[in-house]
């Protein structure tokens, strides 16, 4: 039997140099960028990615920002400014110049509801401004209303959508609005 499926992600943008970006009230926490020495702590926290994947991400210019509560890793988000992969749809896309893409955000269940991602995003926004990056983009599952609410509070607006239709080995992508064109992961030469 062939595998079939349909997935839908919303594309959100936040302009950092305009009234679009709204700083939000967040829990006072320690937010910092993770380094290679943090690999074991990240893998134990995230329980999925390997140490090798963590190092590979750092080596290709991806950055991991993390919130700590009482020295415990509580929440993370990754950011990149070049070529990116939307892992949920197994698709690659090019990040526009002057733009950062935030992805793979996760908060440990024990710390949810404390707006830790708001604190992390504020730190990412500071990093982006220092690098003269004026826009931040992300994808949110169309059914994830909590994540969508969180991003909207931070000043993100839905500007497009991507859809993937899969039937066995055949895959089609449809990008609408301001969403980037997607290519099947690894198909770019």
140-166: per-residue pLDDT in tens? 999 999 899 999 999 999 999 999 999
d(CA 32, CA 35) in angstroms, rounded, equals 9
pTM for this model (two decimals): 0.89
pLDDT tens for 34-47 read 999 999 999 999 98
d(CA 96, CA 104) in angstroms, rounded, equals 19
Q: Which of 19, 4, 1, 5 has its CA nearest to residue 155?
A: 19
pLDDT tens for 102-152 read 999 999 999 998 989 999 999 999 999 999 999 999 999 999 998 999 999
pLDDT the model gives residue 82: 83
Q: Which residue has the higher pLDDT, 57 or 22?
A: 57
d(CA 108, CA 45) in angstroms, rounded, equals 8
Give the range among 53-57, 72-76, 86-90 with minimum mean pLDDT.
Answer: 86-90
d(CA 151, CA 155) in angstroms, rounded, equals 7
Question: What are the backbone angles phi and psi of residue 67, rounded to the nearest 5°?
Answer: -105, 135
d(CA 108, CA 43) in angstroms, rounded, equals 13
Q: Which of 112, 79, 82 has its CA nearest to residue 188?
A: 82
């Amino acid at each position: 039997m062939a595998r079939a499926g349909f997935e839908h992600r919303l594309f959100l943008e936040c302009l950092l140099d305009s009234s679009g970006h709204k700083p939000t009230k967040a829990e006072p926490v320690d937010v910092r960028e993770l380094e290679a020495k943090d690999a074991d702590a990240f893998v134990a926290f995230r329980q999925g990615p390997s140490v090798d994947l963590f190092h590979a991400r750092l080596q290709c210019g991806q950055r991991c920002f993390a919130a700590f509560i009482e020295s415990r890793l509580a929440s993370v988000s990754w950011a990149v400014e070049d070529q990116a992969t939307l892992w949920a749809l197994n698709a690659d896309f090019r990040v526009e110049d002057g733009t950062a893409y935030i992805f793979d955000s996760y908060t440990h269940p024990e710390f949810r509801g404390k707006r830790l991602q708001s604190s992390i995003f504020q730190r990412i926004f500071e990093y982006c401004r220092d690098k003269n990056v004026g826009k931040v983009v992300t994808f949110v599952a169309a059914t994830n209303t909590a994540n969508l609410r969180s991003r909207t509070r931070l000043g993100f607006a839905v500007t497009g959508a991507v859809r993937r239709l899969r039937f066995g080995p055949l895959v089609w992508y449809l990008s609408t609005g301001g969403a980037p064109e997607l290519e099947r992961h690894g198909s770019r030469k």
